[in-house]
Structure 1
Amino acid sequence: MPPTVPTSLRVLTCVVRVTSANDLLPALQAAVDSGKPTVLDVAMINNPPPTTGHWNIPDIYSPDKDVSHVSA
């Protein structure tokens, strides 16, 4: 069980660690079929696709602050 899952959650649910994209659909289907509360612990890598332009993420997360960013 991943250490990031609180003990109370471990007792009440089933936790499944998904380590590859190929394992996601079977884990999801097993969770639905079980009929029990299930946590799918899916590790992800932040690998954004190349795009033109940008989002000003500081503005999204700090809408009430004057946060600037570096132009690309």
Structure 2
Amino acid sequence: MRIKADLHEQGERVSRQRIGRLMRQAALVARGKRKFRTTTKVKSSRPVAENILAREFTADGPNQKWVTDITYLPTR
């Protein structure tokens, strides 16, 4: 349905059946939306690390304060 809507916006008049036939001929398969999955466990039994930096990220010299960030990105 998204392909049909995109083609309609471009001024093309194509039926869903034609789109399906052309996709089968080209061996194309539509990918559905992935189910939302929570990546953070709210109720964790592990203790939360103490915030010893208190948002003071500047340091007097190198290798004194290390920070990191974990970002979840889809790789496919």
- The TM-score with structure 1 as length reference comes to 0.24
Larger radius of gyration: 2
Bigger share in strand? 1
- Larger relative contact order (Cα-Cα within 8 Å, sequence gap ≥ 6): 1
Instruction: Select the structure that is richer in helix.
Output: 1
TM-score (norm 2): 0.23
